Structure 1
């Protein structure tokens, strides 16, 4: 999309749910909004005051009647003139209304996420707030909702802006010491104090990243993978944990050839439980693919449930997996063997031992996703940029053998990484700090 079109085209879209419905909400934003409202409703209501009116096409034919609310820019979601038409949610009514809007000059159907994109472009929100809004819309559990609300409120942005300001200020002090040491308004050597402050910021970011890993689990779900040899009871375990028949159970080895995933809600945390193909040496091409997918999935897991048949235990290599492993022995009702090598012993046939696993899973996942702070990074993008920022700060305060110019450059990179998270990188704001605090050149 060109910049010119972005600023001058008026966009519209159905903003409510699937049709048919009792009420449908059609949103419009852009410079043509006022003209469109005047044409369809014969008048523009007082901003933010909802009115009842008849909606007409360009020829004056009544299409429907309903409610209208007008938001005058910049006091609107997008920062532009906006309006919402609340009409009856019939398929034909909505299609005709959208067709009428498309007939207006410079008006077109909005692209996915374009209203929010305009809000960002017009300074109504930063990238983290936009991402929080998207997470709020897609949230499925109460914990996801609370996390998304926190991000969408701007709390995350405020925290990052505080860190960024500290980094910019530190860089300003270093550059002032380099360039303006002979000025009376510039303090003496401030390097020691600056580097001490930066080490504290880096440690704070490190803890924030750790909380972010928990936040990512809350947002994206906790992933559990069941592995084991063929006929160990993986599919039976999946069915018991899911409390329904999800997987086909058979005495025939190799019944499960592909990944089978079920979504659970454990104490407000979305949990993905995946059954996999039995791991063994085989010549079958299809089964080989399934086994490789099982291994790949296990490498990405947050927790692995490794199940063995107590009657005929077959070892599966797990050294390459980094996630914690809970070892489960199956067919306890048929075996009298020593069972000390297992975290849990169950009978998939009778269900004995499953309740304990479910209780422990719930407690484990709750602990793993428990947030120490309300403000946490929730996306991989945030965590990657925060790691980069922390690394640059560490380079700056630990590279005591390097010139101050290079260490100041590390701080510049660190502040830019934070700015990329929020979407407002501006390298010139270092000048504001220099001139406002040191009165240089007065």
Structure 2
């Protein structure tokens, strides 16, 4: 990956469309425009140009061209956009003509954003916010990504680092100028007070970190229960389509079936699992094992039991919200009902009775689980915050006899952990993994 290359990519969606946007960035950008359109357009204005093949001079398309000179562009380099007609043949012809120009090549995934980061146009946290915005499928994901892309996480981290720098200055002054008469006493105590304020904020963010991660990655809702409890029928009813095979034969569902669902703006993965029972069939045994594994890692469990079954609801899922549901109530009679429980939702997926009440319950649970998502959206943010907090707590709890050099080192290392969030330190180890998930033209 040579930063001296000029990179080219289709920045809009592939396939037939009215307009397609081809993006160009790099040192040869002006030359590319002169070669393919005959001129460099005025900065930041769309102008109609005729695009021609560099070799044959055959007309390729009439396009709107925009030029963004360095450093006032997305990547910080000279950037151009060609708004061409969106037919596959047009796009292929334009891209084919561009890549034969000396110094030009097709961009790799996320390379435009990577150049923006390396050129100081964005920090690592805002790049992650941009990636999340592109991938956002629900309203809550969009809002969270916008907050991060606009710098909420970066601003908080920089505020904390500024406070720690001030604390570090107090400690260094005490270490280096303790014998000077004009150095005030109590600098260690003042530094400790600053560390405490940052530690308190980090603690709050860590406490609600899981909520932010859930908004980004979504909730997992597992439908569990014995065979023939109506799990697949409920999945189909919630998904509003036939996703799973429904049969009266016990053990029809052998593996987990997943459906993605937008629940009041919260991304949800609905999982239908194999019926929980003892079986001699090795395939069904594996399905039951997988069902229990999914239940143990679920955020919410819909624990089903038929109206005529004495089966106990699933309870061995620490950390999950369990919603007990009595199913097939359309078949229940006064004499067939077994052991109704006060906390059970009454439901018939066949007649849709109780479905609205279940959806309302799930919406309430989802909003409660992801409420107050905070700043953390990724595991690496949480790990950096935990690392910084651990060091600050060690420094705060150290007694007055604790060497000042160790106190100062804990502060420095805490700042380093925070710097990992925005990419001011240790950035290379996350770049390849981060940008691999980006679109080619972004």
TM-score w.r.t. structure 2 length? 0.90
User: Could you say what secondary structure the match of 1:419 adopts?
Assistant: helix
Distance verdict in 2 for CA 1:97–1:405, change over 3 Å: same
- State whether residues 164 and 194 of structure 2, in contact with CA within 8 Å, keep that contact through their aligned partners in structure 1: no
- Match for residue 281 of structure 2? 284
Residue 127 (structure 1) aligned to one of 124, 127, 132: 124
Instruction: Output the CA distance in 1 between the equivalents of 2:291 and 2:165.
Output: 47
- State whether residues 266 and 362 of structure 1, in contact with CA within 8 Å, keep that contact through their aligned partners in structure 2: yes
- Deviation per residue, 1:60-100 (Å, 9 max, x gap): 32211111111111111000011111111121221111111
User: Could you say what secondary structure the match of 1:205 adopts?
Assistant: helix
Instruction: Output the CA distance in 2 between the equivalents of 1:173 and 1:343.
Output: 60
Q: Could you tell me how far 1:288 is from its partner in structure 2?
A: 2.0
Pick 1 or 2: higher relative contact order, CA cutoff 8 A, min separation 6. Answer: 2
Q: Could you tell me how far 1:413 is from its partner in structure 2?
A: 1.6
Instruction: Output the CA distance in 2 between the equivalents of 1:268 and 1:202.
Output: 32
- Deviation per residue, 1:345-365 (Å, 9 max, x gap): 323443332221111111221
- Match for residue 23 of structure 2? 27
- How many pairs align? 420
- State whether residues 29 and 78 of structure 1, in contact with CA within 8 Å, keep that contact through their aligned partners in structure 2: yes
- Match for residue 380 of structure 1? 379
Instruction: Output the CA distance in 2 between the equivalents of 1:136 and 1:80.
Output: 23
- Match for residue 436 of structure 1? none
Instruction: Output the CA distance in 1 between the equivalents of 2:326 and 2:269.
Output: 22
Instruction: Name whichever of 237-246 and 172-181 sits farther off.
Output: 237-246
- Match for residue 411 of structure 1? 411
Structure 2: segments with no counterpart, 5+ residues: 427-442
Residue 244 (structure 1) aligned to one of 226, 241, 244: 241
Q: Could you tell me how far 1:240 is from its partner in structure 2?
A: 2.6
- Match for residue 101 of structure 1? 98
- Match for residue 113 of structure 1? 110
- Match for residue 220 of structure 1? 217
Query: Within 5 Å, which residues of 2 pair with 1:28-427?
Result: 28-59=24-55, 60-183=57-180, 186-315=183-312, 318-332=315-329, 333-334=331-332, 335-340=336-341, 342-371=343-372, 376-400=375-399, 402-425=402-425
User: Could you say what secondary structure the match of 1:38 adopts?
Assistant: helix
Q: Could you tell me how far 1:163 is from its partner in structure 2?
A: 0.6
Q: CA RMSD in A?
A: 1.9
- State whether residues 25 and 80 of structure 2, in contact with CA within 8 Å, keep that contact through their aligned partners in structure 1: yes
- Match for residue 433 of structure 1? none
- Deviation per residue, 1:75-133 (Å, 9 max, x gap): 11000011111111121221111111111112100000000000000000001110111
- Deviation per residue, 1:311-364 (Å, 9 max, x gap): 222346633543121222223342333422543232344333222111111122
Instruction: Name whichever of 376-385 and 312-321 sits farther off.
Output: 312-321
- State whether residues 303 and 314 of structure 2, in contact with CA within 8 Å, keep that contact through their aligned partners in structure 1: no
- State whether residues 329 and 342 of structure 1, in contact with CA within 8 Å, keep that contact through their aligned partners in structure 2: no
Distance verdict in 2 for CA 1:57–1:331, change over 3 Å: closer
Instruction: Output the CA distance in 2 between the equivalents of 1:248 and 1:45.
Output: 59
Instruction: Name whichever of 53-62 and 328-337 sits farther off.
Output: 328-337
- Deviation per residue, 1:356-415 (Å, 9 max, x gap): 11111112212222227xx62211221121121112211111132642322322222211
Distance verdict in 2 for CA 1:342–1:232, change over 3 Å: farther
Instruction: Name whichever of 177-186 and 52-61 sits farther off.
Output: 177-186
TM-score w.r.t. structure 1 length? 0.90
- State whether residues 136 and 148 of structure 1, in contact with CA within 8 Å, keep that contact through their aligned partners in structure 2: yes
User: Could you say what secondary structure the match of 1:64 adopts?
Assistant: strand
User: Could you say what secondary structure the match of 1:282 adopts?
Assistant: coil
User: Could you say what secondary structure the match of 2:39 adopts?
Assistant: coil
- Deviation per residue, 1:239-280 (Å, 9 max, x gap): 233333322221211111111111222211111111111122
- Deviation per residue, 1:16-63 (Å, 9 max, x gap): 112221111111101111111111122112211221111112233221
- State whether residues 128 and 152 of structure 1, in contact with CA within 8 Å, keep that contact through their aligned partners in structure 2: yes
- State whether residues 279 and 316 of structure 1, in contact with CA within 8 Å, keep that contact through their aligned partners in structure 2: no
Instruction: Name whichever of 42-51 and 122-131 sits farther off.
Output: 42-51
Distance verdict in 2 for CA 1:81–1:184, change over 3 Å: farther
Instruction: Name whichever of 27-36 and 349-358 sits farther off.
Output: 349-358
- State whether residues 313 and 324 of structure 2, in contact with CA within 8 Å, keep that contact through their aligned partners in structure 1: no
Structure 1: segments with no counterpart, 5+ residues: 427-442
Residue 12 (structure 2) aligned to one of 12, 16, 31: 16
User: Could you say what secondary structure the match of 1:420 adopts?
Assistant: helix
Instruction: Output the CA distance in 1 between the equivalents of 2:367 and 2:325.
Output: 21
Q: Could you tell me how far 1:418 is from its partner in structure 2?
A: 0.8
- State whether residues 300 and 320 of structure 2, in contact with CA within 8 Å, keep that contact through their aligned partners in structure 1: yes
